[in-house]
Amino acid sequence: MKKILTPLFFIHIAASLFGQDAYIKGKISDSKTKETLVGANVVVDDTTGTVTDINGNYFFKVSEGKHKVEFKSLEFKSLLMMVDIKANDTLSNDVVLVGDSKQLGIVVVSAGKFEQNLSEVTVSMEVLKPSLIENKSIQSIETAVDQVPGVNVIDGQANIRGGAGFSYGAGSRVLVMVDEMPMLTADAGDVKWTFLPVENCEQIEVIKGASSALFGSSAMNGVINFRTGYAKNEPETKIHFYSGVYDRPKRDSLDWWWGDTNPTYSGVNFYHAQKIKQFDLVVGGNLYSDEGYRYLETEQRYRVNTNLRYRFKGKLQGLQVGLNVNTIRTKGGLFLAWDNDTTGALRPSGGDLSHYTTYRTNVDPFITYFTKHNAKHTLRGRFFRTINKNNTDQESTADVYYSEYQFQKRFENDLTFTLGGVYNYNEIRSGSLYGTHHSNNAAGFIQIDKKWKKLTVSFGARGEYFKLDSIDVERRVYTGRDSTNLIEDHSKVKPIFRAGLNYHLFKATYVRASIGQGYRFPSVAEKFIKTSASGLDIYPNDTLKPESGWSAEIGIKQALRLGEWKGFIDLSGFWSEYKDMMEFKVGLYGPFVPPSYGFGFQSQNIGNTRIRGFELTLVGEGKIGPLGATVLAGYCYIDPVQTDFDFKRDSAFSTAHTNVLKYRYRRSGKADLELSYKKVSMGMSMRANSFMENIDSYFVVFFPSMASYREKHNTGDQIFDYRVSYQMLKTAKISFIVNNMFNREVMGRPMDLQPPRVYAVQLTVKF
């Protein structure tokens, strides 16, 4: 045996030493847009290969002879080639891939911090395209997000599958991001929806379920990632002119402008994107003025934003640097609660409201480097300042300093490895509203995604460190048997994990399962706010503890095709549990003096909760015969309860007197359908919610009109919007929109009626 192996061994060594290599290089691009494709796969002989860099180029080494080379990318048909190359030769081969009409073509990045086909992710996700925002003439992303199945936005606070209720503008269990970086304020920990640049929206991705392992605190109920865009090969300019008028409410008693001109709003969005050699330029803005359907609640805002990027060539090819900036000034009146449910439902309590001027600015520098070995280094930062000025002595200035380093390696065997670190410093300067505070948050994370032929497996872990002022550990103080106070110190670093899998069961059927942990630190507002407005007193609670939890789901996604129309139908069941959940709770927290006699709200750890339910969604686009059809629809049912509810202790503070969590809708349905034929398009949107069973008893005890209103309106709400558009010219389209078509009287949070019917017109110019 040794006599046979020895010659073979030396022959192998000789071949290795003297054998000659060859090289294959080229560029991969899209046949339709002519854009180069970043991250496209090049597979050689079904075993090895590479991926394209930031400029769509690929380069790899092979042995001389014949080879099978396959070019693949999400949303495109694979291309197979046979090449015969001689030793020491370099074969140049540019490839053009054709879009795959059989695929829906939705690519997301939020699920695993890299591009994936929506059908292969391990969590429930929804995607909003900019066409929906444009067609509905949406001026605030809040309106677009509220159209997503399973998502409700209550007075600006996002709620995914009942994971959050309403917390008076303080704190969020849903992490809102812009370009994968948090966009929550440093003081209240909430999102300012009108700050997000509608005019430069590439895509909105919504992750449902705990995502703290990937994105940190505030992502325990899910993530909304707003992605901005960069210039394509061809210059593009878009301008939207729009104007609307509020119709009279159905009840004459609500019409405070009786006899005068109906209140109106108007605005313009503009956007321009252009490549100038290696320099990418995007600039956009918004001008908006609203007279308001509620008395004195006007708004004027001015927003300007830009995305700048430079892509190096030559020896520095693969390196790009950039700077994104967005700034807004908003001025208006803030409506907090109605005066009464009849003649004062659209008038502020006490006849007055807060007049404010706010300034918000974010500056985001970044550096990205793509190596020749399929790796990517990303260093990015964000400075986010919010300045709130008003006439009620509740001013504040809050700064966020965010930085993140991320390393990602995509191997040829469909393994993606992501590693990173985050440091976040917040500084809040306020008077009597919050006081002055600062916080430090550091985290490290790792994400591993592996795909076999039909199975995709994902695992992530994160360690979080948080320090607010001088407190860097969670301390629990309790009384022992000997009546002494005991202090329990917990770890300074909180570890959290997630895992998921997706199995391609049949040709068009995908099954997934996932579980993830969540962890959220209290915001400065939840711990330290002290204010009073419209009869509502809110008190601080500096003993508030972080909340934690987990979320699990199983789901099945079925691809559909009807002629040239393609889509997905998705059914999922979910189960979430939270420990030490934070919610504002009514009670006696102040001195027993009029007018409130100490009653008010305070953020507290209410105990342990459980939310379970199911969701069914349908999404698709394409042509059915001569008609173009786009649909986004879904139904969600939840069972939200407090598992350690004590009837004697807790029932007096809520209207349901049961363990049902407050400010949730058990059943909700959403749908948006658009049909187009030649130059004409027509669309319809629907949002339906069941009756909000449980709210704070404070509202019905101290505001009797609230109790009578809930008795009369106890069957839930349904709103229908309609739109029609006509493509007048290749570069111009006019649209007519009617929101709240049937003029339904709908309430969001208590004592906060939503707009009556609205008529709007929009002119869109693109060139």
Q: Are strands 536-539 and 599-624 parallel, antiparallel or unpaired?
A: parallel
Average of per-residue pLDDT across 744-766: 94
**Confidence tier at 13 by pLDDT (50, 70, 90):** very low
Does 248 fall in a domain?
yes
Does 6 fall in a domain?
no
C-beta atoms surrounding 569 within 10 Å: 16
Do 149 and 200 fall within a single domain? yes
Of 539-548, 608-617, 651-660, the range with the highest mean pLDDT is 608-617
Does 529 fall in a domain?
yes
Does 338 fall in a domain?
yes
Residue of 7 and 749 predicted with greater confidence: 749
Query: Alpha-carbon distance 397 to 430, whole Å?
Result: 6
pLDDT in tens, 287-332: 999 999 999 999 999 999 999 999 998 888 889 999 999 999 999 9
Query: Alpha-carbon distance 345 to 348, whole Å?
Result: 8
Do 267 and 320 fall within a single domain? yes
Q: Which of these ranges, 30-44, 598-612, 641-655, 680-694, has the smallest mean pLDDT? A: 30-44
Last residue of a domain, one of 55, 78, 97: 97
Residue of 438 and 53 predicted with greater confidence: 438
Residue 314's pLDDT is: 85
Rg (CA), the chain: 28
Do 88 and 177 fall within a single domain? no
Does 5 fall in a domain?
no
Last residue of a domain, one of 58, 78, 97: 97
CA angle 512, 636, 751 (to 5 degrees): 140
Do 702 and 744 fall within a single domain? yes
Last residue of a domain, one of 68, 97, 126: 97
User: Minimal CA–CA distance to 579: which of 599, 612, 609, 542?
Assistant: 609
Average of per-residue pLDDT across 192-218: 89
Task: Please provide the DSSP assignment of 457-469 as one string.
Answer: EEEEEEEEEEEET
pLDDT in tens, 650-692: 787 888 888 999 999 999 999 999 999 999 999 999 999 999 9
Residue 251's pLDDT is: 92
Residue 534's pLDDT is: 66
Do 392 and 252 fall within a single domain? yes
Does 331 fall in a domain?
yes
Residue of 93 and 228 predicted with greater confidence: 228
The residue segments making up the domain with residue 264 are 107-766
pLDDT in tens, 714-724: 999 999 999 99
Does 3 fall in a domain?
no
Query: Alpha-carbon distance 705 to 618, whole Å?
Result: 40
Do 197 and 282 fall within a single domain? yes
Do 633 and 714 fall within a single domain? yes
Query: Alpha-carbon distance 41 to 52, whole Å?
Result: 7
Question: What tokens does 5 get?
Answer: 């192996």
Query: Alpha-carbon distance 449 to 418, whole Å?
Result: 9
Could you tell me what percent of the chain has a pLDDT over 90? 54
**Domains in the chain, number:** 2
Q: List all residues 6 or more positions away from 400 whose beta carbon is below 8 Å from its beta carbon.
A: 182, 185, 186, 382, 383, 384, 385, 424, 425, 426
Do 594 and 665 fall within a single domain? yes
C-beta atoms surrounding 484 within 10 Å: 7
Q: List all residues 6 or more positions away from 187 whose beta carbon is below 8 Å from its beta carbon.
A: 386, 396, 398, 428, 430, 434, 523, 524, 525
pLDDT in tens, 112-124: 666 778 788 888 8
**Confidence tier at 100 by pLDDT (50, 70, 90):** low
What residue ranges in 431-508 does DSSP mark as E strands? 436-451, 455-468, 475-479, 485-489, 493-506
Do 44 and 127 fall within a single domain? no
Residue 380's pLDDT is: 96
Average of per-residue pLDDT across 559-564: 88
Is the model's pLDDT at 737 over the cut of 60?
A: yes
Residue 563's pLDDT is: 85
Residue 70's pLDDT is: 84
Residue 268's pLDDT is: 97
**Confidence tier at 471 by pLDDT (50, 70, 90):** low
Is the model's pLDDT at 10 over the cut of 80?
A: no
> What is the residue-averaged pLDDT of the chain?
87
Do 565 and 593 fall within a single domain? yes
Average of per-residue pLDDT across 108-112: 66
Does 4 fall in a domain?
no
Do 644 and 762 fall within a single domain? yes
CATH number at residue 40: 2.60.40.1120
CATH number at residue 438: 2.40.170.20
pLDDT in tens, 154-196: 888 899 999 988 887 788 889 999 999 999 999 988 899 999 9
Query: Alpha-carbon distance 52 to 370, whole Å?
Result: 10
Query: Alpha-carbon distance 249 to 744, whole Å?
Result: 8
Q: Which of these ranges, 115-124, 366-375, 592-601, has the smallest mean pLDDT? A: 592-601
Residue 23's pLDDT is: 82
Is the model's pLDDT at 241 over the cut of 90?
A: yes
Is the model's pLDDT at 478 over the cut of 50?
A: no
Average of per-residue pLDDT across 541-568: 92
Do 175 and 154 fall within a single domain? yes
**Confidence tier at 105 by pLDDT (50, 70, 90):** low
Query: Alpha-carbon distance 385 to 399, whole Å?
Result: 5
Residue with tokens 């504002």: 584
Query: Alpha-carbon distance 613 to 667, whole Å?
Result: 10
